[in-house]
Structures are given as C-alpha cells and as structure tokens.
Structure 1
Amino acid sequence: LTLRRKDNQLLIGVWHIQLATHPTCYTNVGTIPVYAKAMISFPGRITTRWRCLRSSPLLQCNRQFRQYFTIPKVNKTLGRFPMSTEEKKTDFKLVQVTKEDKEDVVNFLLSDFLHEEPLSMTLKATQQEARPFFDQLIRACLPSDASYLIRGKSDQIVAMLINKIASLNDDDTYDKIDVPASEPKFSKLADLLNHMAQYMVEHREQFTLPVKRDYLEMEILSVHRNSIGQGLAKKLVDASVELAKNRGCAFATAVATNIASQQLFSKLGFETLYTLMHKDYVDNRGRQIFDCKNNPTDCAKLMVKRW
C-alpha cells in the first residue's frame, strides 16, 4: 500500500483493519468501519496502534497522523485488499524453548524486539551492542525450562515469551541482573528491571505475596510485527500460566514496558502493583532516562497474576 501525505511525502506501510465486533477476524472490505481497531507499520519505524476510528472524519489515533489523510481519502486509496495467504494460515506451532533454540531466540530478539520495544528503541543500540545482554538473559532463563515460542511458515519464529522460575525470599534479596560497565546502554535497562524487582520484594507484605514460594517471571514477550493481531501473545501467556500452575508456582509477574503488553496483561487478569512513570525515572542529574517520544508508552508497570 502506498500513501502520500499532504506535503507529498511518500509513505509505505502495511495496514491491518480489524472489526471491533469480530476481534479475531480481518476485514477486506473497501471502506473502514466506524468502530474498528487498526494498526499500521512503516519500515524502520514503530508499529502504531489506533484505538478506534470514530465518527469523526479524521483518524483518532495515539500519534498525530491527522495531517496524513482523512477517512474518505484512505477508503479511496485502500480500495479492496484481500487477506494474504500468510494471514489466513493458522498452522502456528507452539513449543517450549530448548537450549538448541538459543541462537534462533537471540537472533529474533535482535531483529525484532530490539527495534520494536519502546525502552530498547530509546537506547538506539546496534545488534552488536545488544547481543551480550540478550544472550545473558536467555542463558539465565533456559535452566527453568519454562519459556515458549511459536513457529510459523518455514519454521521461522514469529513470537516468543521468555520466562524464568524464581523464588520470593523473605530477606529482601532478588536475582539481580548484572550488566558489565562496558555496556552502558543496557545497564540503563537492567537498572530499571532491578528497580522493579527490588520494589516487589520490599513491598511483598503490602502486596500479600507468599514468601518462600516459587513464581514465574515473564521476562520478554515479543511478537513479530507481521504477526500482530492473531492472538499469539495471548497463547503464549496462557501456556506459560498453565505451566507455572503445574510447576507449583504461586503467581506470575511481568514488568510490562509496552502499552500493548500492559493492555494485554490487564485483559488476562493481571493486576498492576506498581507504575513507574518515565518522567519520574531520572538519573543523578535529574534527566529523564527513557523518553519514548514516538510511542504512546509513558510508563513501566509491575504486574502480577494470582491463582
């Protein structure tokens, strides 16, 4: 699909239009329904989610794309777009992550998560800079044998949820993520994750979290940009929660740093224990550490699901 803005700037994107009344079905009609959820992704840029197309003649979206086009112009430009074979396929394969998958998992994170997750995007790190951090994180999670991935066409990874089984102690200790000083960009990310973990253990009584019990830490949830909207994230979370229950875990936690994952976890019964606004998370000089300018995500949330 090719679109042009009023200033004639060329925009090339992939559109997915989804009826609000049929949350798992795509529509290939030539006009956009009034109450529809939509998403557009531009190469090299973040995926933008529009909450709703209301009766207004302009797109009501999280980002200011109103100068690009009006609904009639979009309708005329879109015409009819049939679902591709890929969108119709439902033969996704959900499997647990093994040590043999490690390199594939790391490469997926470097090619997709690094450029799509809001906090990772702000770091502006290269794949070479990011590899040691992701490699360390995956190695720490593999012994738990609690992570899942989904493979699609040609056995390629299209989504994953990296998990670790941990134990909540009664001495305010936790598994700290250590990043070498030689990796300053990802030290910032590790510091935020450690801050959230420390907050949880220090307030465990307030949150009535059982001590000396195992729980599931959901570390990284990632869905390839071309597979968003097909329920893959929900499948991963549901499978992980079921595994945690079968392993005797008391609850599951997640540090959600993307507005999309925050909304998903909330829908799946997670409650928010702590919200850290990006504007309040500053360095020693009072400067904001994470500024997601081109993303509606404005906070990180510590979320928990009990059973």
Structure 2
Amino acid sequence: MVSSGYVSYNGEGVCFLEVVKSQPNDPVVKMKGTMTRGDSTLNWTYRDSDLPDFCFRTIQQEDVSEVSDFLLKHFFAEEPLGQSLKLDPNEEVRPWLPKMLEHEIREGLSIVVRRRPASDEESTSGDVGEVVAVCLNDVERTVSDPEDVNIFSFVSRDSQPNMWKITRVLDELVADADLFNCYQIEALVSCQMLCVDPHFGGRGLAQKLIQLTEDLTRTLDYSLIISEATSEFSARAFLKAGFHCQKTLQYDTFAFDDGEQPFRQLASTSVHKTARLMVKYIK
C-alpha cells in the first residue's frame, strides 16, 4: 500500500490533502502496530484554554456536507498546483469529495473545528457555530482493505484532467518510499486534508490540529504520521511541528512521458518550488 497526498499553506490558512493508491504487488508484512479502527475516538471532543473561541471534535456523518463545502472553498480553490492548472473544484472535485470523506471519517482521526458563538460559552456540544478548520486523516495498512476509497478511485485522466495531473505528482513523491519496512510498522496515519479558513489564520489552529492528530495517533497506538506538502509554506508548518522531509520533487523538472512540464511556470513565478514528503515518527 502506498500513500500520497498534498498540502497547501498560505501562511494564514492551511490545507492538506492525502490520497492513497494500492499497488497489486506490494508485500503483506505483519509487524508491530494496530490494525483496528478508532472506535474509542469516534465521538471525541476537545476544548483548549488557549483557544476558547473554538470547539474541536472528530468529524461525524452529519458534518460531511458542510465540511465538503468548506474544503471546496478554502482548500481546492487555493492550493498552488490546482491554481496553476486553473482547476475548477466544482467540476473536478465536488462530485466525489463527500464520498471520500464518508470513508475517511470511519477511522476516528479526522477533526472539525467550529467557532463557538458568544452566547454558547457554557455549551459542551461540538455542533456549534460555523466550520473554521478541518483536518482529515486516514490510516494506511500493509494489508489490503476491500472497502478502501481514495482519490484514485474517482479521478480519471479524461473526466478530471487537472486533478489527474496533480495525482501524478503525489504518486511520484511517494514512489519507492517503502515506509512500512523502513519504520517496521504495519500501519501509519496519513494527514490528508487540513484547512484553516484564512479569516481565522494566525491563531495557532494549524499547529493545534497537527498536535491533536499526534495525540489521536498515540491514542490508537500508531507511531508514524506522513503528509505531502505541495507549497513552501505547508512544508514550513510541518517542519515547525517536528516533521522531517524524507523526499523532494522539483516542480521545474517534473515531466510526463510526453514531455509536458505542467508546473514549470509555477516554480518560476512563485515561492512554491517543490513538493515534499513530510514524515514524523512518534516513539
């Protein structure tokens, strides 16, 4: 099983997307780690005294529609690879995104952050206020999951040509990473989508969501978190959180078999020069 994904961060809001592609010849290796889903975290809620205006909880089925709209507006419309290709999220993402979210939230690792209305200071409900941030996480395993759904299940070259180009970058970035054998694990957490509304940037929500992902990862007895940063700012966010860069892909030299270099202009006209595979091992 090979994981891939992408992350965008503009310095105020932050966005991540993680996708998974199965490889038919991947070996099945039993090693340390858990293979169970996160039943103990499915109804998890969290309040932080340093962020009293917000409520954190694991994403529920009833959140899917609102979370989908949030990601379409604040992630897919802003991520640099999509922007460079003039990706239309309504055409190439909206049809499949809710289905992918419904699958991912089963792991009990995905978090939605809502703003607490001033009149709700004493409420303990997570279902308050507008969505201001989302962190979608998945678990990848050495064994095949017949129910697995991921971006590769929906994106085709003909129907979603721009998203397809982005998935080629992601696939290349994790090619030959061999993370399961490298870290002697049978499962890992992939930080898939993390998106903070820019209006609520600069308050530490991105770093808090990364920290809470680590906490939930420990709770479920996993030890490795990965994500793929497609922007310079997202790479810096992960480095600040203690991740290291395991692999880099240069946009100015990335090319398809036909010679097309779709992200060369992005590299020459912006600060976004590379995609990076970010990894953190939690002992």
Length-normalised TM-score, structure 2: 0.69
Cα displacement (A) at 1:185: 1.5
Specify the code of the residue in structure 2 equivalent to 1:300. A
Cα displacement (A) at 1:169: 6.0
Counterpart for residue 118 of structure 1? 80
CA distances 1:264-298 after superposition (whole Å, capped 9, x unpaired): 11111101110111112112232222243654111
Q: Are the counterparts in 1 of residues 55 and 116 from structure 2 also a CA contact under 8 Å? A: no
Counterpart for residue 306 of structure 1? 281
Instruction: Decide which of 139, 145, 149 is 1:165's aligned counterpart.
Output: 139
User: Separation in 2 of the partners of 1:116 and 1:182?
Assistant: 21
Q: Are the counterparts in 2 of residues 252 and 304 from structure 1 also a CA contact under 8 Å? A: yes
Q: Are the counterparts in 2 of residues 210 and 250 from structure 1 also a CA contact under 8 Å? A: no
Correspondence list, 1:203-242, <5 A = 205=181, 208-211=182-185, 213-242=186-215
Residues 158 and 252 (structure 1 numbering): CA distance in 2 closer, same or farther, change over 3 Å?
Answer: same
User: Separation in 1 of the partners of 2:232 and 2:159?
Assistant: 30
Correspondence list, 1:146-295, <5 A = 146-152=109-115, 155-168=129-142, 177-178=152-153, 179-180=155-156, 181-201=158-178, 205=181, 208-211=182-185, 213-290=186-263, 291-292=265-266, 295=270
Q: How many residues align?
A: 217
User: Separation in 2 of the partners of 1:136 and 1:200?
Assistant: 28
SS in 2 for 1:131: coil
User: Separation in 2 of the partners of 1:301 and 1:169?
Assistant: 26
User: Separation in 2 of the partners of 1:120 and 1:191?
Assistant: 13
CA distances 1:29-70 after superposition (whole Å, capped 9, x unpaired): xxxxxxxxxxxxxxxxx9578xxxxxxxxxxxxxxxxxxxxx
User: Separation in 2 of the partners of 1:168 and 1:176?
Assistant: 19
Counterpart for residue 271 of structure 2? 296
Specify the code of the residue in structure 1 equivalent to 2:256. D
CA distances 1:190-210 after superposition (whole Å, capped 9, x unpaired): 222223333323x655xx322
- Structure 2's unaligned 5+ residue stretches are 1-8, 13-50, 118-128, 145-149
Instruction: Decide which of 39, 62, 69 is 1:100's aligned counterpart.
Output: 62
- Structure 1's unaligned 5+ residue stretches are 1-45, 50-88
Residues 196 and 204 (structure 1 numbering): CA distance in 2 closer, same or farther, change over 3 Å?
Answer: farther
Larger radius of gyration: 1
Q: Are the counterparts in 2 of residues 252 and 306 from structure 1 also a CA contact under 8 Å? A: yes
Q: Are the counterparts in 2 of residues 158 and 223 from structure 1 also a CA contact under 8 Å? A: yes
Q: Are the counterparts in 1 of residues 229 and 276 from structure 2 also a CA contact under 8 Å? A: yes
Specify the code of the residue in structure 1 equivalent to 2:224. F
Q: What's the RMSD between the two structures over aligned residues?
A: 2.7
